[in-house]
Structure 1
Amino acid sequence: MRITCTVNGETHEADDVWPGESLLYVLRERLGLPGAKNACEQGECGSCTVYLDGTAVCSCLVAAGQAQGRSVVTVEGLSRDDGSLHPVQEAFLATGAVQCGFCTPGLIVAVHDLLARNPAPADPEIREALAGNLCRCTGYEKILEAVRMAARS
């Protein structure tokens, strides 16, 4: 089947999509957007988090056909029109919250979503919002620091 959707503000088409193919696979392999990472394929780690019509979802759990006619925003789409980084992306870099970088795109989308809903979250709210995102490299303190920094900016 062919799916057509808007990804990061641009219309994209993907041909020969099979019914069980995930949105994550389409984004990475068919559209060349490697930001969302393929890790657990079970919606447990958050590395593939993207927005689908404004709602943060694990793209590994979304069938590609569900994106037909809808809007998808990936971590690549969070940067500003002039190409500069979003304040959440800048905060992750400034605090060193990137480590190996594998979980970073999903965390950035999750933090972006949190701050859109709650611009001044307390630490327990940050921890709850990021509970679905796993990082194997850090003790999470630098990630929490990045969220606090982004909330201040």
Structure 2
Amino acid sequence: MLPSRRHPRLGAGLGDGALPGRRAGWGRFSHCAGERAGWPGRALPNEGCRCLVSPCPEPPVRIVSSNEDAAHRYLAAERMVLACELSRADVPVQWYKDGVEVEEGESLILERQGPHRRLVIPSARPQDTGEFVCDAGGDSVFYNITVTGR
């Protein structure tokens, strides 16, 4: 076991693998002055070394809310809106109908505003009946849509 010492100014343990002044687990550091002191892989901040810190990976994207539980029954010509909110704004989303990716056009609009995504059909038709999916990589929501004639 490596000896544990505390930095005189920061009070951080030097033998515990933590970065001084930071919580353990926030990053990893490279070999530097601590190795010269006989502590492999340990950094001594008062030795003037440069430590390379690598950030923790981003957590997987999640769909944090949606209107999938709403009753998605529409009359022909009604406006249809499917919505979901992601845990991060910078994630691409694919929308599918009955397993086929949909494309934006006059009868289907894909909206993106920050973490919010919406699929809008301004005037629903009976052929829009089916299963729609919002796929955000690691998470998906399913919408069962029924459109009936007037």
| Higher strand residue share | 2
Q: Which has more helix, going by share of residues?
A: 1
Regarding TM over 0.5, the answer is: no
Report which structure shows greater RCO (CA 8 Å, sep ≥6).
1
TM normalised by structure 1 equals: 0.23
**Structure with greater Cα Rg:** 2
